[in-house]
């Protein structure tokens, strides 16, 4: 369905209360800042929008443009790209390359290859835009992202690097409006890109911006600043945030780079601080951007760049023609696709401890993987499992058969599609059954070993008695 039915039938009656009810209270707000970007009555408190008392109860802009209320993907794709997606996992694109900035001043401060900052400075220097709405850094709270409008190279350089926490970037539209900046670009994660696209395409000239470029950054999940940085990292772990120069996510760990040391925190210990809305977000590569930029798929210090729209393609070519970027075709599109697919399916990896236990119960490597996938997806079809694991379907079918024989999964037929779906057995039942089997084995072992040991003992006793008699 393209248009949210509530919006279609009740547009005139909707107001901030409805946004509050349908999005904010339901824990679906991504904190993208679109509602606050188009309405000066909305402010952000604790990462969530709230409205002041004098708002217009007949204005429905906030809910209309909220990407979490509805985002008509295929409609936007047709308008922006002239057609719908070419790839289920990555969306529409023209081509994908690896790239890296040629500017030392950018490479010294950027997150990966500096492509985002390079394109941003070019947009300003070439006069294509007068300002770029992006995430900057708070002057008061170290590492805290805040929306800014960059109007010169220095602002872009100061804003370089990733802050892995929610930032209402699109709220920067307000500053642009107040400063009379109309020709703009935006840099943001998928949810922010969706918000700005709705403003760009559906605001019917109500908002006076001429949006020249939408640059997306890949995003798998995002965290809450107060929860993760203030309370956990500074409060519980005692790491002073003002000493942290950069934050990187590498090797399944959250790395805090300080002047003389790197603190590495396992990702699994910070997952509880992920923003709730991110757990249902399905867009990894900012599919509606003109150009999307990330790290996965490229060598360290390089970016993976997905060039999507015509306008994105000609901007990227201009930046290359000005010798601002180095290019490489060494990009692992399979790995990129795998990550995007994981996010769409919300596949969670089974923990090493759980996998070890399942192996102890006799499961093979692929069975552990497939069972973990069933738990994570809760009733996938064979095709979905195939798509995610990317190995031969014979092997997967064999693993599924073994899981069914073990009683770890059941196969049912979906009455609507008539295709098979696979349901995982509850882990507690598997553990209980596994423990029973282990106990039975232990009992059997006890019985056979015990009788063997007893007879050995008895033989030994009688041998000793014979020896005693002889003596």
Binding site for ligand FAD (CB under 6 A): 110-117, 134-135, 145, 159-165, 167, 169, 187-189, 217-220, 222, 293-296, 303
Spatial distance between the Cα atoms of 161 and 64, rounded to a whole number of angstroms: 32
272 DSSP 8-state letter: G
Q: What is the length of the chain?
A: 471
- Within residues 169-208, the interface with ligand SF4 by CB under 6 A covers 189-191, 195
Q: Which one of residues 80, 106, 277, 421 is an interface residue with ligand SF4 (CB under 6 A)?
A: 277
Contact between 281 and ligand SF4 by CB under 6 A: the answer reads yes
216 binds, among ligand SF4, ligand FAD, none (CB under 5 to 8 A by kind): none
| Minimum CB distance to ligand SF4 smaller for 93 or for 223 | 223
In order of 111, 249, 430, the CA distances from 268 in angstroms are 22, 12, 24
230 DSSP 8-state letter: I
217 binds, among ligand SF4, ligand FAD, none (CB under 5 to 8 A by kind): ligand FAD
Closest distance between ligand FAD and the C-beta of residue 410, in Å? Answer: 34
195 binds, among ligand FAD, ligand SF4, none (CB under 5 to 8 A by kind): ligand SF4
Spatial distance between the Cα atoms of 41 and 280, rounded to a whole number of angstroms: 28
Closest distance between ligand FAD and the C-beta of residue 30, in Å? Answer: 10
Beta bridge partners of 98: 304, 328
- Within residues 115-174, the interface with ligand SF4 by CB under 6 A covers 168
68 binds, among ligand SF4, ligand FAD, none (CB under 5 to 8 A by kind): ligand SF4
Closest distance between ligand SF4 and the C-beta of residue 252, in Å? Answer: 18
| Minimum CB distance to ligand FAD smaller for 219 or for 368 | 219
CB 431: neighbour CB atoms within 10 A? Answer: 14
Spatial distance between the Cα atoms of 199 and 256, rounded to a whole number of angstroms: 36
164 binds, among ligand FAD, ligand SF4, none (CB under 5 to 8 A by kind): ligand FAD
Radius of gyration of the chain, Cα coordinates, nearest whole angstrom:
28
| Minimum CB distance to ligand FAD smaller for 4 or for 111 | 111
Binding characters for ligand SF4, 323-352, by CB under 6 A (x = yes)? ------------------------------
Q: Which one of residues 278, 385, 389, 403 is an interface residue with ligand SF4 (CB under 6 A)?
A: 278
41 DSSP 8-state letter: T
Helical (H) or strand (E) element with 422: strand 420-424
Q: Which one of residues 4, 60, 64, 68 is an interface residue with ligand SF4 (CB under 6 A)?
A: 68
2 touches 29 (CB < 8 A): no
Q: Which one of residues 66, 296, 374, 403 is an interface residue with ligand SF4 (CB under 6 A)?
A: 66
Contact between 222 and ligand SF4 by CB under 6 A: the answer reads yes
Spatial distance between the Cα atoms of 194 and 214, rounded to a whole number of angstroms: 10
Spatial distance between the Cα atoms of 173 and 3, rounded to a whole number of angstroms: 25
| Minimum CB distance to ligand FAD smaller for 187 or for 368 | 187
115 binds, among ligand SF4, ligand FAD, none (CB under 5 to 8 A by kind): ligand FAD
With CB under 6 A as the contact rule, which of the stretches 62-70, 172-180, 387-395, 421-429 interacts with ligand SF4?
62-70
- The terminus-to-terminus CA distance of the chain in angstroms comes to 98
| Minimum CB distance to ligand FAD smaller for 113 or for 312 | 113
CB 366: neighbour CB atoms within 10 A? Answer: 17
Q: Among 339, 327, 267, 264, which Cα is nearest to 296's? A: 339
336 touches 101 (CB < 8 A): no
In order of 83, 128, 213, 290, the CA distances from 311 in angstroms are 14, 12, 8, 7
Q: Among 319, 332, 337, 256, which Cα is nearest to 114's? A: 319
Q: Which one of residues 15, 19, 159, 339 is an interface residue with ligand SF4 (CB under 6 A)?
A: 19
Spatial distance between the Cα atoms of 249 and 255, rounded to a whole number of angstroms: 6
| Minimum CB distance to ligand FAD smaller for 98 or for 135 | 135
Spatial distance between the Cα atoms of 381 and 420, rounded to a whole number of angstroms: 6
Contact between 34 and ligand SF4 by CB under 6 A: the answer reads yes
| Minimum CB distance to ligand FAD smaller for 24 or for 149 | 149
23 binds, among ligand SF4, ligand FAD, none (CB under 5 to 8 A by kind): ligand SF4
157 touches 105 (CB < 8 A): yes
Contacts with ligand SF4, residue ranges (CB under 6 A): 19, 23-24, 29-35, 49, 66-68, 168, 189-191, 195, 219, 221-222, 275, 277-278, 281, 283
């Amino acid at each position: 369905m393209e248009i949210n039915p509530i919006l279609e039938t009740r547009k005139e009656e909707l107001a901030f209360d409805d946004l509050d009810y349908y999005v904010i209270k339901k824990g679906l707000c991504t904190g993208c800042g679109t509602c606050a970007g188009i309405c000066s009555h909305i402010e952000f408190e604790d990462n969530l929008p709230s409205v002041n008392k004098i708002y217009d109860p007949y204005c429905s802009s906030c809910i209309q443009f909220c990407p979490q209320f509805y985002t008509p993907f295929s409609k936007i794709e047709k308008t922006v790209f002239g057609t719908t997606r070419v790839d289920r996992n990555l969306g529409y694109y023209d081509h994908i390359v690896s790239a890296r900035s040629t500017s030392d001043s950018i490479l010294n401060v950027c997150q990966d290859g500096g492509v985002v900052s390079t394109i941003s400075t070019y947009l300003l220097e070439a006069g294509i835009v007068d300002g770029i709405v992006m995430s900057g850094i708070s002057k008061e709270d170290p590492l805290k992202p805040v929306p800014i409008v960059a109007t010169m190279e220095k602002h872009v350089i100061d804003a370089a690097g990733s802050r892995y926490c929610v930032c209402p970037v699109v709220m920067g539209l307000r500053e642009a409006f107040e400063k009379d900046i109309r020709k703009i670009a935006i840099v943001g994660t998928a949810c922010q890109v969706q918000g700005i696209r709705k403003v760009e395409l559906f605001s019917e000239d109500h908002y006076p911006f001429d949006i020249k470029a939408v640059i997306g950054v890949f995003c798998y999940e995002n965290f809450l600043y107060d929860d993760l940085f203030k309370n956990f990292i500074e409060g519980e772990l005692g790491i002073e945030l003002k000493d942290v120069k950069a934050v990187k996510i590498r090797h399944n760990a959250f790395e805090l780079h300080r002047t003389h040391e790197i603190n590495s925190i396992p990702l699994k210990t910070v997952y509880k601080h992920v923003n709730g809305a991110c757990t249902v977000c399905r867009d990894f590569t900012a599919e509606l951007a003109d150009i999307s930029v990330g790290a996965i798929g490229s060598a360290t210090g390089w970016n993976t760049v997905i060039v999507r729209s015509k306008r994105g393609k000609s901007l990227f070519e201009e930046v290359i023609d000005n010798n601002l970027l180095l290019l490489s075709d060494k990009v692992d599109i399979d790995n990129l696709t795998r990550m995007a697919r994981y996010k769409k399916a919300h596949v969670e990896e089974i923990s090493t401890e759980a996998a070890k236990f399942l192996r102890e119960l006799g499961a093979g490597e692929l069975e552990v993987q497939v069972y973990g996938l069933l738990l994570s997806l809760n009733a996938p079809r064979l095709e979905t499992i195939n798509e995610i694991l990317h190995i031969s379907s014979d092997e997967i079918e064999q693993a599924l058969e073994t899981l069914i024989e073990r009683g770890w999964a059941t196969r049912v037929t979906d009455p609507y599609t008539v295709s098979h779906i696979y349901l995982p057995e509850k882990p507690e039942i598997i553990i209980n059954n596994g423990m029973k089997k282990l106990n039975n084995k232990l009992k059997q072992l006890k019985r056979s070993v015990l009788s063997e040991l007893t007879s050995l003992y008895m033989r030994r006793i009688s041998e000793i008695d014979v020896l005693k008699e002889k003596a």
